[in-house]
Amino acid sequence: MAKLLSMEDKDLGTIPSVTLRTSSYTDLDLSFTTKPDFGSGLATDVYKKFDADAVKQSIKNLLLTNHFEKPFDPYFGGNITRLFFELADDLTESEVEDDIKYAIETFEPRVEILNIFATIDPDTNSCIARVVFKVISTNKVTTLETDIARLR
Amino acid sequence: MATNITSTELDFENIKNSLKTYFAQKSEFNGYDFEASGLNNILDVLAYNTHFNGLIANFATNESFLNTSQLRSSVVSHAEGLGYRPRSRSSSKSTLSLTLDLSAVSSGSRPTNITLPIGTEFTASNEQGQFKFKTRVSYSATDSGAGIYEFLDTNGEPNVVVYEGQNKTKTFYSGTVTENQVYIIPDETIDTKDMSVLVYPSPTSEKFETYTFLENAITVTAATQYYDIKEAPNGYYELNFGDGISFGKSPDPGNKIVVTYNSCNSILANNSSGFSAVNDLSVDGNSYAISVNTQILSHSGMPREPIESIRKLAPIQFSAQQRLVTSLDYKGMIQSNFPIVEDVTVWGGEENVPKDYGKVYISIKYPINTTQFVKTETENSIKNLFSDNLAVMSIDNKFIEPSLTYMEIKTNFYYNDGLTSQSNSYLETLIRNYISTYFNTNLGKFESKFRRSPILTGIDNIDKSILASKMSIKLQQRFLPNVGISSAYDIYFPVALASANTNTYVITSSRFTVGGATCTLRNTLGTADIEIYNESAGKVQTANIGTYDYKTGTISLVGFEPTAIVGGSAYIKVSAVPLDPAVISPLRNYTLVLDESENEAFGNIEHTETKIVL
């Protein structure tokens, strides 16, 4: 016995049980690497990043940006490298962690921070930051680990 | 004030938002709206680039017009296109009386004439420091018979004019003619009115040719030796010569050009005093001290012409075309050539009261403390240097002092005392001060009009408690009577006066005495006759002492003989109600100022409830 629904309610039987999930977030891959052409010789597009990868790239970008680098938005960025121009002490790691937390909470509403670890290397004026976060729209937990260092 | 071409549509945020709007319509990228995303970074670059290009285009457009240019170099360049030369610095100058005492020399050994050479140096000082002055022409003196030599100018007057500054020299060697060389003088302190340009045929030659300033040239041919100097875009000065073909002679290749100019301190050296000669004067091998008597403190030193002045005067000068025909021509000429002039107004004799055909009336406003000597010298220069050469023949100048017309202002205002914690007297003071400031800012210049409604609007906005205001206005002229002498007087007001009515007096005056009685002038109610009112006795002392013509704003007194003036001043204030108090447009040389002693304000509390019975 075939069951039919009205035209307004659509016929469930014709709707596929598997649908394409649209990505919440799409972004350009900032490495600007092009996709392989598989020997065709034709120009190909650059890679994109989706969802958690896009958000991860965004957080890395945020942490590596200092104040006054973004045009017309002087207080955008983690502004973390300023701490590496001072002598490192017992509080520097927690300062880095606070700065990372503040920057992400202020500029990246797509994630929920789960944990932040900062390990300072005073000899090289740098630190390794490890951020564990959850992408709110997908509940996917991801970890970002990046080096932050003075350029000079 | 210059206007700017707007660039608000090119703001960074607006541009970036436009790009975001575009991406919002696309499904391909949806991370654009997060400030840290890669796409957002690219949007930053795109928006910044567009913003930057937009600003450059905006700046370039601004600088393309005289009205909107912001940079001095652009304004000067536009003015040059109109044939206008912005003024350079001008040296401060002073007039000295110089004598040399050779009375100790026997009369037979004394020379008949002694010459004071060009460039004789003097020093003087003011609160800014010490400055050097020098003569620009030579002066000669003859023996008085007693061995005293007084240096005289070409008019036979003992006026030796000295100018502040020191000579500087630049030497150039002429290149090939085809290169059309321009010679740069890297100095912003030049007074271009004091320059000499000598051209030597070779570096070792002692002979030279003198080139004259183009502005002084009457006709220019291929052989005319002239130089031209103008301000360069970087603020320095550029010297150039004719093309050597049709428009002036050009120095030949290899010629040595020696430029000597005066580098001056302009306004800093004004008001210098204590002049003394740097060196003694040598006469027949002996040195004699020059005795200096300062006739006048140094004056007329001015900085380079400011941008706003160039912007205003260049078009006027262009329309005048080096001729003095209209009143605007005179104004442009005087303001561009005499920086000491603060303001000027010019009108034809046919517009004067009384009419005076064939005359041009000029009234000049000078800075406070300008001496009569400087005023006379300026007026003589206007006549001799400009109007005699450029004006229509048979037209003479007549210089008139600016005439002050005082205004008496009585302001009544209504305020809600529940909206302010301030007292009535405090608000009254605020309003008096506001009116005083308004006059200082907006009036006091020729052709500045008094408009009542903007002041009332300003008063209403002084405090939120002020609900309404009104203002009564009188004009006041002051005249110096011949005390104790019967005389006739004509008192002119710059506007038409109210016609007589039977309720209020249109004409009133301050107090004076006649035979011991305190009196005032006023018009007889309902008529245009003027009477002397005896305040002591409360009756009319003298009827029909004169009349007033409300159309021409003239009061005529006949046989007026006050005994003394009450209050210690030398003048009597005559006040009149104007025909239209909403706008007072002073004519000719009248300027409007506030009589501070007659600036009154009265506060009235206005309660919000409406009473049924008045």
The pLDDT value recorded for residue B419 is 79
Mutation for testing the A interface, residue in B12, B19, B35, B51 having most A CBs under 10 Å: B35
- Over range A41-70, report the average pLDDT: 90
Mean pLDDT of chain B: 85
Measured in angstroms, the CA of B57 and the nearest CA of chain A are apart by 20
The pLDDT value recorded for residue B613 is 56
Residue B169's nearest CA partner among B265, B261, B264, B257 is: B261
> How many angstroms separate the first and last alpha carbons of chain A?
77
| SS3 of residue B493 by DSSP | coil
Residue B477's nearest CA partner among B406, B532, B529, B530 is: B406
**Residue appearing with tokens 């940079």:** B71
Q: Is A66 on the interface with B (CB under 8 A)?
A: no
Rg, C-alpha atoms of chain B:
33
The pLDDT value recorded for residue A17 is 52
Evaluate if residue B160 carries a pLDDT over 50. yes
| Burial class for A132, CB neighbours closer than 10 Å (0-12, 13-18, 19+) | middle
- Chain-chain contact of A109 with B34 (C-beta, under 8 angstroms): yes
Evaluate if residue B540 carries a pLDDT over 90. no
Angle formed at CA B571 by CA B569 and CA B574, multiple of 5 degrees: 125
- Chain-chain contact of B38 with A70 (C-beta, under 8 angstroms): no
The DSSP result for B284-331, as a single string, is TTEEEPEEEEESS--B--B-SPPHHHHHHHHHHHHHHTT-B-SHHHHH
CA–CA dist B75, B515 (Å, integer)? 66
The answer to whether B493 touches B506, Cβ cutoff 8 Å, is no
Q: What is the pLDDT of residues A109-141, one digit of tens each?
A: 989 999 999 999 988 888 999 999 999 888 899
The pLDDT value recorded for residue A118 is 93
* Residues 6 or more apart whose Cβ sits within 8 Å of residue A142: A52, A55, A56, A132, A133, A134, A135
Percent of chain A's residues with pLDDT above 70 = 84
Chain B, nearest residue to A51 by Cα: B31
- Over range B459-469, report the average pLDDT: 85
B36: nearest CB among A28, A29, A59: A59
pLDDT band of residue A5 (cuts 50, 70, 90) is low
Residue B87's nearest CA partner among B76, B103, B77, B73 is: B76
| Contacts across the A-B interface (CB distance below 8 Å) | 61
Q: Which residues of A touch B41 (CB under 8 A)?
A: 30, 61
Q: Which residues of B touch A65 (CB under 8 A)?
A: 36
Domain boundaries, chain A: 2-149
pLDDT band of residue A9 (cuts 50, 70, 90) is low
Q: Are strands B512-514 and B507-509 parallel, antiparallel or unpaired?
A: unpaired
CA–CA dist B333, B312 (Å, integer)? 12
- Which run of H or of E encompasses B74? helix B72-81
| Burial class for B551, CB neighbours closer than 10 Å (0-12, 13-18, 19+) | exposed
Evaluate if residue B328 carries a pLDDT over 90. no
| ipTM, interface predicted TM-score of the complex | 0.78
The pLDDT value recorded for residue B215 is 78
pLDDT band of residue B179 (cuts 50, 70, 90) is low
The DSSP result for A16-47, as a single string, is -SS-PPPPS-EEE-TT-PBPP-TT-----PBP
Task: Pick B418 or B79 by higher pLDDT.
Answer: B79
Evaluate if residue A6 carries a pLDDT over 80. no
User: What CATH number is given for A2-149 in this structure?
Assistant: 3.10.450.40
CA–CA dist B487, B474 (Å, integer)? 26
A108: nearest CB among B34, B38, B42: B34
CA dihedral of B418, B422, B428, B429, whole degrees rounded to 10? -160
| SS3 of residue B600 by DSSP | strand
Q: How far is CA B43 from the centre of its chain?
A: 53
Q: Which residues of A touch B31 (CB under 8 A)?
A: 25-27, 54, 58
Percent of chain B's residues with pLDDT above 90 = 15
| SS3 of residue B39 by DSSP | helix
Chain B, nearest residue to A29 by Cα: B38
Q: What is the pLDDT of residues B267-285, one digit of tens each?
A: 899 889 899 999 998 888 8
- Phi, psi of B531, rounded to the nearest 5 degrees: -130, 160
The pLDDT value recorded for residue B1 is 44
Q: Is A65 on the interface with B (CB under 8 A)?
A: yes
CA–CA dist A91, A73 (Å, integer)? 28
| SS3 of residue B510 by DSSP | coil
Question: Chain B interface residues facing chain A, Cβ-Cβ under 8 Å?
Answer: 12-13, 27-31, 34-39, 41-42, 44, 47-48
Q: Which residues of B touch A24 (CB under 8 A)?
A: 30
